[in-house]
Structure 1
């Protein structure tokens, strides 16, 4: 057997050596931040280890479904040593005031704006509702899917209420996102956007991503990722590109041709101004509903 350590891991020997320094059959060291650094540097998957990962000392059972979808979990569901905040109240208040995390501002507050995401149809606007999107396919044919970079998995929670199973990818950047997602009763997947999607070809009914897939991603990586999304979608499956942002001329010159080259069929394609950082910057949002065709084009 070949150890599952990719070339990217060997490029960071100091990090890797620290990560693999532990007592066999003992407790794993407290190195969540170190492990995440390796993941974000492309060291995926991490090497396996023969040690027991830390668990909360006063763990309590999660809230039952469906109440768990909209209830803040107990603080004892998380090992907080890797985070500045040591409870969810602190995290909610910090996210409200801290600059630099606008895409997840208030996201741990389930009574705030998370409570209304994707619930209302906005006509020709860039905010599609879930029910609006689901009308694109026959009832009951959207059953399983993926949300890329889904924050605290509110999209998955909404879909769960409609008997649709969504797996949510998330990193633990400045908060225990994966613990929070699992406590809500939906499935977290701890991978970065640089990793090949861990699904077989032609299997998912829908893939969604809001904000994460945007112009901060190197163009070549974004192109690979778009084709990977195409790969895992079944024929007729939907790709909901939700609030992709870039500068106006980039959309016309770079990103629209890139997306079109993948081979999706356009069901919806709406462009609007991104005003949250000032209209003078010329930033744009694109929301698109794309369909994998039943047959590949030649």
Structure 2
């Protein structure tokens, strides 16, 4: 809760962290399993006590195969499926190797990029009353447990792609969001891509606040 509300983590202490009862047997070979492994999670940290219960009440991100379908197909002309993005990058002779997914949930986007395009991705995610980080680790993917207001833990000008998922939207104070976009710009290499995906706000705020904020970065609009 301290990290989530913008505070710094507590100092290091000499104590052991709790671990799941069966950590080894709960690891997955397939990042798109039929069911997620309950033994990979210490459930007393959450109000939900199993993935079955979680899917009934909060399915977003915890049904990898449903989320996979939504990332690979058009629902409207506003959508940008993963394969279409890679086609755009290829047509511009852009190389996509290293990437960050901001607020990437359980990392279904990162799993698709790894399986189909051999792209190495970091995902920033927080456990907001659900075991997002545990699921990412169980799927064999890279995670960074940091809030949105923290400086990205990578070096300047090294990333080929930064994608902002559902977590980046109007709930973030505009000053914080502006610093966040400038930090994304810091880590993007020349010719890299900033993908603002599924951003939502009031129309008047989009025109008067967010579009000018992103426009300051001076990027060429691809889509």
Structures share fold, TM-score greater than 0.5: yes
Q: Distance in 2 between matches of 1:83 and 1:141?
A: 40
1:39 counterpart SS class:
coil
RMSD over aligned CA atoms reads 1.8
Determine if contact 1:118/1:130 at 8 Å carries over to the other structure. yes
Structure 2 vs 1, CA of residues 192 and 127 (structure 1 numbering), >3 Å: closer, same or farther?
Answer: same
**Length, aligned pairs only:** 220
Deviations 1:262-282 (A, max 9, x none): 2222111xxxxxxxxxxxxxx
- What's the counterpart of residue 44 of structure 2? 81
Q: Unmatched 5+ residue regions in structure 2?
A: none
Determine if contact 1:42/1:194 at 8 Å carries over to the other structure. yes
Q: Distance in 2 between matches of 1:220 and 1:106?
A: 28
Give 1:186 deviation, angstroms.
Answer: 0.8
1:185 counterpart SS class:
coil
- What's the counterpart of residue 150 of structure 1? 104
Q: Distance in 2 between matches of 1:164 and 1:71?
A: 24
- What's the counterpart of residue 67 of structure 2? 114
- What's the counterpart of residue 210 of structure 2? 255
The structure with the largest strand share of the pair is 1
Give 1:261 deviation, angstroms.
Answer: 0.8
Q: Distance in 1 between matches of 2:125 and 2:43?
A: 17
Structure 2 vs 1, CA of residues 106 and 244 (structure 1 numbering), >3 Å: closer, same or farther?
Answer: closer
Which of the residues 154, 161, 165 maps onto 2:120? 165
1:146 counterpart SS class:
strand
Q: Distance in 1 between matches of 2:38 and 2:147?
A: 25
Deviations 1:233-279 (A, max 9, x none): 111111100011111111111111111012222111xxxxxxxxxxx
Is residue 98 of structure 2 the alignment partner of residue 135 of structure 1?
Answer: no
Equivalent runs, 1:92-241 vs 2, <5 Å: 92-95=55-58, 105-111=59-65, 113-121=66-74, 125-138=77-90, 141-161=95-115, 162-241=117-196
Give 1:62 deviation, angstroms.
Answer: 4.1
1:264 counterpart SS class:
coil
Report the more deviating stretch, 83-92 or 217-226: 83-92
Q: Distance in 1 between matches of 2:84 and 2:13?
A: 45
Determine if contact 1:44/1:195 at 8 Å carries over to the other structure. no
Deviations 1:76-100 (A, max 9, x none): 11111111122111111121xxxxx
1:160 counterpart SS class:
helix
Moved over 6 A (4+): none
1:70 counterpart SS class:
coil
